[in-house]
Chain A
């Protein structure tokens, strides 16, 4: 169990910052919250949660799918599409290629079907490592396609949001993806399929103002930053500092905009319970 892993952690794998130990590139990572240096393998085994302070590191798509889907059950939808670069932005395509090399993903979301303790579902996972998880025409199309697939396959859909918002490089076309995905969700709603939206750090802008907020059930990871407007924009507009805890998952829960905050280590079981209690069964 994961909890055991935390307890049994090898203390030697954590080195205090002030010990001035040479950190081999790539093997170690610093927790920005408690400043401890953590061995990456230990962090991975602990689902990206700092073993010292409990800080949640952002999770890439692959790791997320690993902790949510039953082993080997994730089957990616076959949608090989690329943006046509509608604004003809210089270096946009090159930037995309760089993110592809860095993340080994084709775009900021991965979509497919999987099983959660035997219950089949559509799963979409966004990844902030790819262009800040921003939504352009490809992300919008992939999520829309996934919603339509859920309707056709009579499956529930779970979307893990993790995004800075709409992708600027595609301008108005990106903005319109919010409308497109929302339209698709009305069909899902009518068809009666369950949609669980999971908000992870960060969920902002056009994603917050569309599908992330339209789940039948909305979950969030602890301390995830969730909001519509960015904090810098708000501070500049109102000319004052923002209160502590503003736009956190806990803030969202307090103000009534999410159903439940779920610890990362309990997410799979919680999703399983929610699917079960909504009448979905193992296949």
Chain B
């Protein structure tokens, strides 16, 4: 097999050293009744060309999807990925190294993570960010667990109902074994699509542990994060933000400035392809005072023996390999290479470019809203939005099908997760969409009754 270098003389020599005659003897100490009786029942190995052909065939079945004009978002966004991002993440020096436990052999990875941590603190206006999490949903869940460590006596977790359904579901899973925790969903205002502040005020009391709010939320609405954080603060509770479309942070007031205690999000928008939903990566940022309760890895700056600047994993006494059952999280392998992609992406976009791109997304989405409105397709909510918004249709299934017939993926029907919004579609606009196609979208949707 082409990946294995053993010649027959290698085999003979190696077997000779270990005192055996054949490979099978290597596993004879495995109790006979447990040993596999038959070969693995999958096809024999294939040449590289055959593998490429087989997998390309499967990819080809999907590539129909790329003939469509897509307005799909909903937590995963179709942004342009600059070639330089791939050129770096494809480097085997980054891709085929392990978690940088041996600092002297991993200065590339550790320095890149240090840069990543810095970029995330800049974007969120927080003081410390970890080296990354699996995704936005699990990062939000880990933030709630972190809040629970900070306030172990509090028992009420408030989730904005307008927080992404997958995020709410993931938080529920992560909290499911903590018996004393009660989860309440804070309704959204049915006009604005933002979280109902009066409803939140009612539960912002001495039982409240934390509140988690999307920023923007699952309807694309920019939540009044500052007001929510202030209410949480008055109740001495912890305010957590979750941003699925992290491009927003290039333009919107950062969570740290709005009084958020833990800012989390999904980084897929920063240089990662859609890949049917993964891998992207999550991030989690907080204040230095809470650094010891942070989950996940951290890289710190230090010196080598000769006084040169160097980077290494640090504060590992929070982590599973040292602290075991008392660790702040069980996370070990995270999504490091995806965080590297984001580090390269953000470095390319830079100070002006990221804001510029975020603004362009806002402009496109608002132009689309105007075109749709002109065709009689109304926005469902009045709240401010970044690059996606909810539209009202008569029958979401029919509308999506009609659009599909015209090679348009018009958006995501919200009815499954929000029965009260069964007549709506979430539709998303990025720099990959063109204004001259908006009329076609409007036409496709307007004709449906």
Tell whether A and B belong to one assembly: no
Question: Which residues of A approach B to under 8 Å, CB–CB?
Answer: none
Interfacial residues, chain B to chain A (CB-CB below 8 A): none
